[in-house]
Chains A and B, each alone.
Chain A
Amino acid sequence: METTLVIVNSDATIKARFVEAGSVRLTGISSGAYVYSNATSGWVGKLVKTGSGIINSIKPGIMTIAISEEGKRTEYVTITVPEGSELTDTIELHDASPLIFGSETVVKIAGKDVTIGPDESVACDDLDRDGDRDLAILRGNGDVELYETRNTEFSLKKIVSTKISDANCLRVADLNSDGFPDLLISSSANGIMHIPGCGSFCFRDTVITLKTGGCTGFSIVNYQQTTLPVFAIGKPDGTVVIDNKNIEACDGSVIDVGSDAKPLFIDLSGDGKDDMVLIDSTGIVVWFRYDPSGDTCFKAMGPVNANGKSIECMVSGTISFVYGDEGELPEMLYAGKDGVLRRITAQLRGDFDGDGTVGFSDYMLFVNAWNLSETDTTWVPLANMTITAGEQKIDFADYLLFVGSWGKIK
């Protein structure tokens, strides 16, 4: 489906095709622009944020520009730029709705199921920077098994012995911004330890302990490249502490989850900001939407939906998230109740029945959720695509986002 957008403080008209949820960046639009989306009932306003940045290649006339979604996928936009338009700044257009997930498959290595214990953990990242995602598994004895992806199969490349006896959660991130992925491992006694990377499947012997205190699991995200990273730290008392030095009101806030949580930051809502996913005390994967106006910066949204059901996992188990190749939808990795590692792929937003298209069946599912509120027993959190003030309802804002997904094909 094409969405027609009009910049009202200039005469520029944009026609954009939004394939998937997420933040898309349009360049060459005048500062302070209000973008209006042509919805079904007249023109409905959608405010977009402006930011810095200049693309000088935008010229008056009809042209096609590429817009990227945080480097994950590219959209092509036909833009009509009138003579005399002011084309200086960058805007971010958030065309967002939560991801939903499809059916699961078991991860196999050399043809065998991979089993994960409760204090073991997995992470996926491109460890050798060859363009595909590799697998890392933290074992209970502190060993990190590194598996290289070859032709969609995993093969054991290396074992890094960390000698961390009470390790419980592994993440991979370039924390020191040197271009190499680092290992970050939490310990129930000593907090998060940082093992810097030094190249392809290469990690230094140095272990740097971050002063986070005892930790059951954690995640790190940079909401903006220019700001300090945000930590979500699972604590042994069943809470998650948000360490966000960028927003004072959020910093140090505590979310009671009632379990030894291994929080994970992912952009589940598709608004360009990472939300938080974790396994609750009953073993269900739940999510918290990033909401900097709230007390804790994260608002509880209920279970993550996979084919209309919640995802059942091992309590205190692990979740990892994998962004696909450009244009593909991401995957989530988790250990099920039986400890077997599984992968599950995101579906199109609005594709509630998981058939790969957003069509009439999805509309009927949406209509059946229409006007439910979060206090209803039949509440459908996935259909609540926008957070509104007060009690959450499946309302017109959600409807607009559903319409925005209409006709999309996986």
Chain B
Amino acid sequence: MKIIRLFTATIIAAMVFGTVEAGRNVGATVEIDWDATTPRIESKCGSGDEIALAVQVNGSADLTGYFVSLEYDTSKVRMIGVLNHLPGKSAFIESCGGKAGPLMVVPNDRGSVEIAAGIVRADAAQAPDGSGVLVYARFSRKQWSEDCPVKLVTVQLSDLDGTVDTILSEEKQPGNGK
């Protein structure tokens, strides 16, 4: 069952913009856990007063940085905050000993937030592979709606060569809580 949830929650579309050469993360995928407060991965928006989601990458290779953008309906939710790690835990990007630069969080009052993080002058040993959470984001509901008012728009992953692979979410896919 968990495999099915993972499958349905996984964004499998990975594409590279323009003529840029594919990097080491072209095959990576992302999934959203719509309730990061529990150990299991929740594939749909909850019905509580808060949405606490986690954007997780799977199959990353030599990850040196990432960019994530979310859109949200400002009439239905308010953004509370964004983190790249839980209190007392280390961030996935720093899991191999690399030191991350300043986490960039750029909110927009039209209802989007853009987040970027990266390892400072990463070497091969410091760039993590595999799975981990890139971003935790919390929203409080202003009003209940059937559709999920938060959507993952873009994920970009940078590797040791500085090559950026872009993973786009499609508008109506399970990963966006529909």
**B8-48: which residues lie under 8 A (CB-CB) from chain A?**
none
- Say if the beta carbon of A406 comes within 8 Å of chain B: yes
A366 touches B67 (CB 8 A): no
One digit per residue, 1 when the CB lies within 8 angstroms of any chain A CB and 0 when it does not, for chain B 151-178 equals 0000010100010100000000000000
A140 to chain B, nearest CB (A): 46
Contacts of B102 in A (CB 8 A): 367, 370, 396, 399
- Cα A41 to Cα B81 with chains together (Å): 10
- Say if the beta carbon of B124 comes within 8 Å of chain A: no
- Cα A370 to Cα B119 with chains together (Å): 10
Q: Which residue of B lies closest to A1 (CB)?
A: B106
- Say if the beta carbon of B128 comes within 8 Å of chain A: no
Q: Which residue of A lies closest to B158 (CB)?
A: A364
B127 to chain A, nearest CB (A): 12
Interface size class of B (residues with CB under 8 A): 20 to 34
B164 touches A360 (CB 8 A): yes
Contacts of B103 in A (CB 8 A): 40
- Say if the beta carbon of A323 comes within 8 Å of chain B: no
- Which residue in B114, B120, B158 is a CB contact (below 8 Å) of A371? B120
- Which residue in A2, A40, A367 is a CB contact (below 8 Å) of B118? A367
A40 touches B104 (CB 8 A): yes
- Cα A399 to Cα B120 with chains together (Å): 13
Contacts of A1 in B (CB 8 A): 106, 108
- Say if the beta carbon of B84 comes within 8 Å of chain A: no
A363 touches B118 (CB 8 A): yes
- Cα A366 to Cα B116 with chains together (Å): 11
- Say if the beta carbon of B101 comes within 8 Å of chain A: yes
- Cα A172 to Cα B6 with chains together (Å): 68
- Say if the beta carbon of A105 comes within 8 Å of chain B: no
B101 to chain A, nearest CB (A): 4
B104 touches A403 (CB 8 A): yes
Contacts of A403 in B (CB 8 A): 104, 106
B60 to chain A, nearest CB (A): 15
- Say if the beta carbon of A407 comes within 8 Å of chain B: yes
- Which residue in B64, B101, B104, B120 is a CB contact (below 8 Å) of A406? B104
- Cα A367 to Cα B100 with chains together (Å): 8
Contacts of B107 in A (CB 8 A): 40
Report the tally of A-B residue pairs with Cβ distances under 8 A.
Answer: 60
- Say if the beta carbon of A361 comes within 8 Å of chain B: yes
- Say if the beta carbon of A368 comes within 8 Å of chain B: yes
**A324-355: which residues lie under 8 A (CB-CB) from chain B?**
none
- Say if the beta carbon of B5 comes within 8 Å of chain A: no
Q: Which residue of B lies closest to A365 (CB)?
A: B162
B162 touches A364 (CB 8 A): yes
- Which residue in B104, B108, B121 is a CB contact (below 8 Å) of A363? B104
Question: Known contacts being A367-B101, A370-B120, is A360 close to B106, with CB within 8 Å?
Answer: no
A367 touches B65 (CB 8 A): yes
- Say if the beta carbon of B146 comes within 8 Å of chain A: no
- Say if the beta carbon of A4 comes within 8 Å of chain B: yes
B145 to chain A, nearest CB (A): 26
One digit per residue, 1 when the CB lies within 8 angstroms of any chain B CB and 0 when it does not, for chain A 384-410 equals 000000000000100100010011000
- Say if the beta carbon of B147 comes within 8 Å of chain A: no
A2 touches B114 (CB 8 A): no
- Cα A371 to Cα B114 with chains together (Å): 23
A40, A41, A399, most chain B CB atoms within 10 A: A40
B67 touches A360 (CB 8 A): yes
A406 touches B106 (CB 8 A): yes
- Which residue in A367, A368, A407 is a CB contact (below 8 Å) of B114? A407
- Cα A268 to Cα B57 with chains together (Å): 41
Contacts of B158 in A (CB 8 A): 360-361, 364
- Cα A41 to Cα B84 with chains together (Å): 13
Contacts of B114 in A (CB 8 A): 406-407
- Cα A368 to Cα B107 with chains together (Å): 23
Question: Known contacts being A360-B156, A360-B164, A361-B164, is A367 close to B106, with CB within 8 Å?
Answer: no
- Cα A40 to Cα B83 with chains together (Å): 11
**B70-110: which residues lie under 8 A (CB-CB) from chain A?**
100-109
For this complex, 26 residue pairs linking A to B, each with C-beta atoms less than 8 Å apart, are A1-B108, A2-B108, A2-B109, A40-B104, A40-B107, A41-B105, A360-B67, A360-B116, A360-B156, A360-B164, A361-B162, A363-B65, A363-B104, A363-B116, A363-B118, A364-B65, A364-B158, A367-B65, A367-B102, A367-B118, A368-B121, A370-B101, A396-B102, A399-B101, A403-B104, A406-B114
Given contact pairs A363-B65, A364-B64, A367-B119, enumerate 11 new A-B contacts (beta carbons under 8 Å): A40-B104, A40-B106, A41-B105, A359-B67, A360-B116, A361-B158, A361-B164, A364-B65, A367-B120, A370-B102, A399-B102
Task: List residues of A whose CB falls within 8 A of some B CB.
Answer: 1-2, 4, 40-41, 359-361, 363-364, 366-368, 370-371, 396, 399, 403, 406-407
Which 5 A-B pairs have CB atoms at the shortest separation, nearest pair first?
A367-B101, A367-B118, A360-B67, A370-B101, A40-B105
